[in-house]
């Protein structure tokens, strides 16, 4: 296949100061949960993106000095020359495919508590650090400023030595002291570094000039700047000081990397924003600078990308999450394979890995984070080891991915499902408020399977144990999913909730199947803490019900703090008029009452209602598996929710792992490579 000429503009080279990018695809800096702890994993992940056609590949934040370090998060580090070899491995991999390597030098200031170094954080003013750690940042004095500027120059020179082509000055996401100086709320100084915007921008200007003087002859100097803090009159706004600052420094950097602040605004989920949601904030930048501009917006459509370039909005198509979901997105556009793109679904499971200090994962791309340690490539997979057949029961996320990957390996695959369409849980969940983009998980795999002659799909096929045995496949995979329980058992309650009377006790499965609760208030008991409780509340309010959401957690959908959307979920609940009862468990259902207990005092609270909706736990559909296991069915395996209910990302990964490992001999007991600490010569 050949490239559609409409997209030729995306593959034009673009000059960035002293270097040139081979096309307009730019992987902006993004965290990954690996960083300094797993440098080989990071290097291989970035290398594969270069192979996939991204012209510029940037690191995550790289802390430049011990007085500003982001522990416990696994970000990068460039404190001294000892950090250069790990970074050089990354740049070597990126350069192997003709791409440019960029590094985001970071000094977090009051955004970090320096938990590892135990140095006192510094900021423009005396203020507590941003986390709930009982640490306060001290106001940086002029001697400190001079020293910090030198640290930044030293780090830039080390970056140059490590082989980086683009060196960032970072003033975004409220994660940089340079952004803190710009903030009127954080910067209350009365000297030449405080007060007017020109004064508050003085340090940023100085660091930019220092960096250009130090490495600008061979490295491009990029400025990452949040043009809007989405904080109204209390912060920088794109139609006020955000624009003023770009105009003030317009020609100083070699490239402008622009977005909004802070991270939960920049990386909004698809539940709350559509592709290109930042366009209205960043559109002005190109009009006030001659330097190239990169921006982000979860872009996956090449037509949209072309319109941004031709419309004079951007010079580069920036991406973090779309480059995670499909590291080969540029190559697929270049080769005319648009339909093969794994489009980002905007769920932010990738973010959750970083915030939990573990290697990043992705719902759409199960190889993300496994490139080095398991040797998984997003586009290549080992051929089959034998001429064997595989029967997969269940066409949900796990079954679909197993069938797709096994088909790619060349196995003879049959995928059977009792339903009338593929997708499993996602056939229903994609219809819930805000989750339409999640259907891309199904759509991508359904299309890929449709192109494989060796994969056959049979719907409306309710197979029992006899039918499975009669089919005679060499390998049988059970991917039958799970169902929500209505007992109330979950994370906080380990025994069933007593029920006296005939009040309906429903589950999300009931609501998604079209069951209408009786008139009256619906009490949702959410002990799951991910998205389902809030989504159910939103749907029921849309259907006209009064809703009380009860949770043992202090906030609604508590785990979504890891996906950067908890604040928006709670705000939506309040806007919709959902009554929120936090820090309470469901003790019993008595007639037309629910009896709640405070998690601390045990004090009772009673809420009248017409029905209860349990969002607590799911139980695997395992009857078919157990029946076959009892009969010693050879080569029988469970995957996805049928093995252990979890996220959609976990189900896809489970299916992919099965397909990768079938017929392969794996190391024992650890099935993947590890990066082990090196003993120091000093003791």
413, 389 in Cβ contact below 8 A? yes
Q: How many CB atoms lie within 10 A of CB 465?
A: 17
347 catalytic residue (yes or no): no
What is the crossing angle of helices 440-450 and 397-409, to 10°? 30
Q: Supply the DSSP string of 188-234, one letter for each residue.
A: ---STTSSSHHHHTHHHHHHHHHHHHHHTTTSEEEEEEEEE-S-GGG
* Catalytic-role residue among 30, 73, 173, 529: 173
Q: 294-304 as b/e, with b when 16 or more CB fall inside 10 Å?
A: bbbbbbbebee
Q: Supply the DSSP string of 137-148, one letter for each residue.
A: EEEP-HHHHHHH
The candidate with the shortest Cα–Cα distance to 236, out of 223, 249, 245, is: 245
What is the crossing angle of helices 39-51 and 84-95, to 10°? 20
* Catalytic-role residue among 107, 168, 170, 531: 170
* Catalytic-role residue among 26, 31, 350, 411: 31
266 catalytic residue (yes or no): yes
170 catalytic residue (yes or no): yes
Helical H segments across 415-525, by residue range: 426-429, 440-450, 465-471, 508-512
- CA–chain centroid gap for 479, Å, is 25
Burial of 674 (0-12, 13-18, 19+ CB in 10 A): exposed
Going 398 to 403 to 409 to 412, the CA torsion angle's sign is positive
Going 649 to 651 to 655 to 658, the CA torsion angle's sign is positive
Euclidean distance between the first and the last CA atom of the chain, given in angstroms as a whole number: 60
Pairing of the two strands 412-416 and 611-615:
unpaired
360, 33 in Cβ contact below 8 A? yes
Q: What is the CA radius of gyration of the chain?
A: 27
Instruction: Annotate 383-421 with three-state secondary structure.
Output: CCCCCCEEEEECCCHHHHHHHHHHHHHCCEEEEECCCCC
Q: Report residue 92 as tokens.
A: 């070597």
173 catalytic residue (yes or no): yes
The candidate with the shortest Cα–Cα distance to 170, out of 250, 96, 251, 59, is: 59
Report d(CA 320, CA 161) in Å as an integer. Answer: 26
578, 472 in Cβ contact below 8 A? no
Helical H segments across 250-328, by residue range: 263-266, 279-282, 302-310, 321-325
Residue entry with tokens 């109330």: 488
Residues labelled as active-site residues: 31, 170, 173, 266
């Amino acid at each position: 296949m050949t490239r559609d000429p409409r997209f030729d503009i995306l593959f034009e080279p673009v000059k960035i100061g002293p270097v040139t990018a081979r096309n307009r695809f730019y992987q902006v800096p993004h965290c990954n949960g690996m960083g300094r702890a797993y440098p080989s994993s990071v290097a291989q992940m970035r290398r594969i993106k270069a192979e996939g056609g991204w012209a510029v590949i940037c690191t995550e934040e790289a802390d430049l000095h011990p007085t500003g370090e982001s522990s416990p998060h696994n970000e990068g580090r460039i404190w001294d020359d000892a950090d250069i070899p790990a970074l050089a491995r990354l740049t070597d991999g990126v350069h192997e495919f003709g791409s440019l390597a960029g590094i985001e030098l970071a000094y977090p200031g009051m955004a970090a508590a320096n938990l590892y170094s135990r140095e006192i954080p510094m900021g423009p003013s005396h203020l507590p650090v941003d986390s709930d750690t009982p640490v306060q940042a001290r106001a940086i004095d002029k001697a400190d400023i001079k020293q910090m500027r030198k640290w930044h120059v030293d780090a830039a020179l080390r970056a140059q030595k490590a082989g980086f082509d683009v060196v960032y000055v970072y003033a975004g996401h409220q994660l940089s002291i340079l952004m803190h100086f710009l903030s009127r709320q954080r910067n209350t100084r009365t000297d030449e570094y405080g007060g007017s915007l020109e004064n508050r921008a003085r340090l940023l200007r100085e660091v930019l000039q220092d960096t250009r003087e130090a490495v600008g002859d061979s490295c491009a100097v990029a400025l990452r700047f949040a043009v809007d803090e989405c904080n109204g009159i209390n912060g920088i706004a794109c139609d006020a000081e955000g624009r003023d600052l770009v105009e003030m420094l317009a020609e100083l950097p070699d490239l402008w990397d622009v977005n909004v602040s802070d991270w939960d605004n920049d990386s909004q989920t698809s539940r709350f924003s559509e592709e290109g949601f930042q366009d209205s904030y960043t559109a002005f930048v190109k009009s006030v600078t001659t330097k190239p501009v990169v921006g982000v917006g979860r872009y996956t459509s090449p037509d949209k990308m072309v319109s941004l370039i031709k419309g004079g909005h951007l010079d580069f198509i920036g991406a973090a999450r779309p480059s995670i979901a499909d590291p080969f997105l540029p190559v697929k556009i270049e080769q005319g394979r648009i339909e093969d793109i794994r489009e980002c679904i905007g769920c932010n499971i990738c973010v959750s890995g970083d915030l939990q200090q573990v290697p990043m994962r992705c719902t759409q791309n199960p190889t993300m984070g496994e490139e080095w340690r398991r040797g998984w490539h997003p586009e290549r997979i080992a051929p089959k080891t034998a001429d064997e057949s595989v029967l997969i029961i269940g066409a949900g996320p796990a079954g679909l991915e197993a069938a797709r990957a096994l088909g790619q390996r060349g196995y003879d695959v049959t995928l059977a499902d009792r339903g009338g369409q593929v997708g499993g849980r996602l056939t229903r969940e994609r219809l819930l408020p805000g989750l339409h983009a999640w259907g891309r998980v199904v759509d991508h795999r359904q299309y890929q399977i449709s192109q494989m002659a060796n994969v056959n799909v049979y719907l409306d096929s309710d197979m029992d144990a006899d039918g499975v045995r009669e089919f005679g496949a060499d390998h049988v995979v059970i991917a039958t999913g799970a169902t929500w329980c209505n007992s109330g058992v979950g994370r906080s309650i380990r025994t069933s909730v007593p029920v006296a009377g005939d009040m309906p006790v429903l589950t999300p499965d009931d609501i998604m199947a079209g069951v209408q609760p009786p008139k009256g208030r619906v009490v949702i008991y959410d002990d799951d803490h991910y998205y389902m409780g809030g989504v159910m509340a939103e749907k029921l309010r849309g259907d006209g019900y009064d809703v009380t959401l009860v949770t043992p957690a202090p906030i609604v959908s508590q785990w979504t703090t890891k996906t950067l959307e908890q604040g928006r979920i709670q705000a939506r609940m309040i806007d919709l008029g959902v009554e929120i009862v936090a820090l309470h468990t469901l003790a019993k259902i008595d007639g037309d009452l629910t009896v709640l207990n405070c998690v601390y005092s045990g004090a009772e609270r009673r809420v009248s209602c017409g029905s209860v909706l349990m969002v607590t736990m799911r139980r695997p559909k395992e009857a078919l598996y157990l029946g076959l296991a009892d009969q010693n069915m050879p080569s029988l395996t469970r995957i996805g929710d049928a093995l252990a209910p979890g996220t959609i990302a976990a189900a896809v990964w489970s299916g992919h792992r099965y397909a990768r490992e079938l017929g392969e001999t794996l190391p024992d007991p650890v099935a993947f490579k590890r990066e082990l600490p090196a003993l120091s010569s000093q003791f």
